[in-house]
Structure 1
Amino acid sequence: MTGTRVTVSVDADGVADVRLNRPDKLNALDMAMFEALADTGDALAADPAVRAVVLSGEGRSFCAGLDLANFAALSGEGQADGSERARRLTRAIVDREPGRITNLGQQAVHTWRELPQPVIAAVAGHALGGGLQIALGADLRIVAPDARLSVLEIRWGLVPDMTGTAALVRLVGDDVAKELTFTGRMVSGEEAVRLGLATRTAEDPRAAALDLAREIAGRSPDAIRAAKRLLNRATDGHDLPGQLLEESRALDALRGSPNQVEAIRAHFEKRPPAFTDPSS
């Protein structure tokens, strides 16, 4: 199974090798990528032959985050080209996907957590902003020691908006989640493991992830699926739908606001931002 933005191959062991496929753009996220990720998750969930999933990026980076060409849509200054589904996301980010607790951008991440099969993210190069959130949607993360990870949204005057607020607290705890979110600082693969953002390091994350996926695929698929379901239930918040909706409402209020536009302009103009104080 192949696509323009995401490629999928399933081997004889039932391991699905899923790759973000925009290597010339460091696998940056555009509306077509959001759709491809969400649709790929749906297809894999419906395939009983798939026992485990490895999620990685083609080329030298896992995912560099949002494609900068999409900032016009994020700031409310324009509509993204593409399907009606993608246009809905730019118009009303608080709208949920039909029958889901997510919008399209969130579903591109949440699909890996709700997938019945285990998902291992193999992270090399960069995992920034939305790219990091995609990795956080996996069950396990194997990262290169020199990988570069960041909760980058604060650079643009935004908040993590692809299930990241729930995932960060679940993985690293309240205080570390806040430090990473408030600063947007870069974290190496080695530090990511120490913080709990990643499971372990490997010089070749994809090879290590495929080996682990084949080991998992050799176990009882019924037991593996039940274990994932139970462990997710034990760690998810009691009001995950409310958490994700509030995440979207926060982003909706921020995008296109004076301080968010100033954050973007200051970055590209290479100057300190001049923010205005929030009203009380």
Structure 2
Amino acid sequence: MDERVKIEVEGGVADVRLARPDKLNALDPAMFAAIIEAIATLEATAGLRAVVLSGDGRGFCAGLDMASMASVGAGVDVASRAHGIANDFQQVAWGWRMLKVPVIATVHGVAFGGGLQIASGADVRIAAPGTRLSVMELKWGIVPDMAGFALWRGTVRDDVLRELTYTAREFDAAEAVGLGFVTRIAEDPRGEAMALARAIAGRNPEAVRAAKRLANLEGEAEAILMAESAEQVALLRTPNQIEAVMASMHKRAPVFTD
């Protein structure tokens, strides 16, 4: 994993970096395997509170390394679901959304095709000015199949997504904010992401995880309302919830346990 993805954890915040800068962090089989392994490692990391996902070098991720991936699709069993409802290709994006803790992606340079889908798996996306993005798959005669359509639902307007998918045209970070692909722009996206992650790490971790579960819910309002109530009942009067109240009342930093 270290050759393709680097992970450092401090204060409950994981700093995760795609590490193939000479290829703009393009996705080859080794990169797919490393991202899947990284997600599994983070899922098992005790005390984890938040994740910052970025790319080393000049760009976040240029999408598929077409030369190395050219022969992969021929033998793929599309019905195989190795990760719950997702296959290996989808897990590199969907897995970030399914992590128990919030994930903040920092995007710079380029986020094309699969790279945009990976970023879209994050809860929040902070982009550098001038970042270039594209739903690029149609350029290569294929469709987005790394969980993009599931992740973009509810954030990107349907007709806009259709246009961008059908044409594969590039758009910049400023347009991406308006379209719903990016949360906001920052001159130092990684610095802002780390500050945001540390702020999240200072909140009741049980409540943060519950909030992410609720945010991930889809379906009928009745089921979501019931889930809200159930999560709240499970949190009330627990040690961490009481600590959040006491720390706020006494204007001190809270001390939470996992």
Q: TM-score range by the shorter chain?
A: 0.7 to 0.9
Distance 2:160 2:148 in 1: 13
- Per-residue CA distance 1:98-149 (angstroms, 9 max, x = gap): 3521111101111100000100000000000000000001110000120000
User: Could you say if the C-alpha distance between residues 3 and 92 of structure 1 is closer, same or farther in structure 2, counting changes exceeding 3 Å?
Assistant: same
Secondary structure at 1:37's aligned position in 2? Answer: helix
Question: How much does 1:72 deviate?
Answer: 2.2
Secondary structure at 2:154's aligned position in 1? Answer: helix
> Does the CA contact (< 8 Å) of 1:8 and 1:19 recur in 2?
yes
Distance 2:149 2:217 in 1: 17
Partner of 1:160: 144
The structure with higher relative contact order (CA 8 Å, sep 6+) is: 1
Partner of 2:79: 95
* TM-score between the two structures when normalised by the length of structure 2: 0.82
> Does the CA contact (< 8 Å) of 2:132 and 2:173 recur in 1?
yes
Instruction: Give 1:190's match in structure 2, choosing from 148, 160, 174.
Output: 174
Distance 2:70 2:159 in 1: 32
Q: How do residues 259-278 of structure 1 correspond to structure 2 at under 5 angstroms?
A: none
Distance 1:66 1:189 in 2: 21
Distance 2:69 2:88 in 1: 16
Q: Does residue 220 in structure 1 map to residue 218 in structure 2?
A: no
Distance 1:169 1:3 in 2: 33
User: Could you say if the C-alpha distance between residues 21 and 235 of structure 1 is closer, same or farther in structure 2, counting changes exceeding 3 Å?
Assistant: farther
State the identity %: 55
Distance 2:219 2:184 in 1: 20
User: Could you say if the C-alpha distance between residues 179 and 47 of structure 1 is closer, same or farther in structure 2, counting changes exceeding 3 Å?
Assistant: same
Distance 2:219 2:108 in 1: 27
> Does the CA contact (< 8 Å) of 1:116 and 1:225 recur in 2?
yes
Distance 1:10 1:179 in 2: 40
> Does the CA contact (< 8 Å) of 2:111 and 2:133 recur in 1?
yes
Alignment root-mean-square deviation, CA: 1.6
Question: How much does 1:173 deviate?
Answer: 2.1
Partner of 2:163: 179
Q: Does residue 128 in structure 1 map to residue 127 in structure 2?
A: no
- Per-residue CA distance 1:162-213 (angstroms, 9 max, x = gap): 0011122321121111111111111111111111111000011111111111
Q: Does residue 107 in structure 1 map to residue 91 in structure 2?
A: yes
> Does the CA contact (< 8 Å) of 1:15 and 1:54 recur in 2?
yes
Instruction: Give 1:14's match in structure 2, choosing from 12, 15, 33.
Output: 12
Instruction: Give 2:67's match in structure 1, choosing from 61, 66, 69.
Output: 69
Partner of 2:40: 42
Distance 1:99 1:127 in 2: 24
Partner of 1:5: 4
| Residue identity opposite 1:62 in structure 2 | F
Question: How much does 1:45 deviate?
Answer: 1.1
| Residue identity opposite 1:106 in structure 2 | Q
| Residue identity opposite 1:20 in structure 2 | L
Question: How much does 1:48 deviate?
Answer: 2.5
* TM-score between the two structures when normalised by the length of structure 1: 0.75
- The aligned length equals 220
> Does the CA contact (< 8 Å) of 2:29 and 2:69 recur in 1?
no
- Per-residue CA distance 1:30-53 (angstroms, 9 max, x = gap): 111111111111111111311000
Partner of 2:129: 145
Distance 2:132 2:198 in 1: 27
Question: How much does 1:71 deviate?
Answer: 4.2
> Does the CA contact (< 8 Å) of 2:83 and 2:91 recur in 1?
no
Question: How much does 1:235 deviate?
Answer: 7.3
> Does the CA contact (< 8 Å) of 1:7 and 1:21 recur in 2?
yes
> Does the CA contact (< 8 Å) of 2:26 and 2:65 recur in 1?
yes
Partner of 1:244: none
